[in-house]
Amino acid sequence: MRTLVDIGDTEVKALDRLAQREKVSRAALIRKAIDDFLARNSSTREVEAFGLWGDRKVDGLEYQEDMRREW
C-alpha cells in the first residue's frame, strides 16, 4: 500500500543520511520504523505475559519468601 505523509525537511535529510549509511532506501527505513513502533506498542506481549504464574501450584508470596530464605 502506498501512503502520503508530510515529513519536514530536517527529518528527510536525516533519513537520507541514515539510508545512505545503511545502504537502504528511505522507504525501507520508514517501513522498519513503523514495524518497530508497532512491535513496541503491541498489546500481544501484555496478553502473553498476563497470568504467567497461573499454572503454578505454589502461592506467589510463599514462593517469594522461600526464595528469600535461601539468601
Tens digit of each residue's pLDDT (9 = 90 or more) over 9-46? 999 999 999 999 999 999 999 999 999 999 888 766 66
Window from 28-37, 49-58, 60-69 with minimum mean pLDDT: 49-58
Rounded to whole angstroms, the Cα distance separating 1 from 46 reads 29
What pLDDT sits at residue 45? 65
Closest CA to 30 of 21, 40, 18, 41: 18
Closest CA to 25 of 16, 34, 33: 16
Residue 69, C-alpha cell as written in the block: 530464605
What pLDDT sits at residue 21? 97
- Considering Cα of 29, then 31, then 32, then 36, what sign does the dihedral take? positive
Model-level pTM?
Answer: 0.58
